[in-house]
Amino acid sequence: YFTKWIEANSYANVTAKNVAKFIRRDIVAHYGVPEAIITDNGTNLNNKVVD
């Protein structure tokens, strides 16, 4: 089910640690584990911390 709902937050430094924390705190905690997360394939998003 695709709702087109967007969750966002602003950070001074977009690191893998910040992204993983955002996903856990603001996505998983509120909605459960998503089937997929669509990104722009930035190097800060393609790593073991986020995967």
- 3, with CB counted inside 10 A (0-12, 13-18, 19+), is exposed
Which residue, among 36, 39, 44, 50, has the nearest Cα to 14 in the 3D structure? 44
pLDDT tens digits for 1-51?
Answer: 567 778 888 989 888 888 889 989 988 888 888 888 877 777 777 767 666
User: What pLDDT does 12 receive?
Assistant: 92
User: What pLDDT does 35 receive?
Assistant: 84
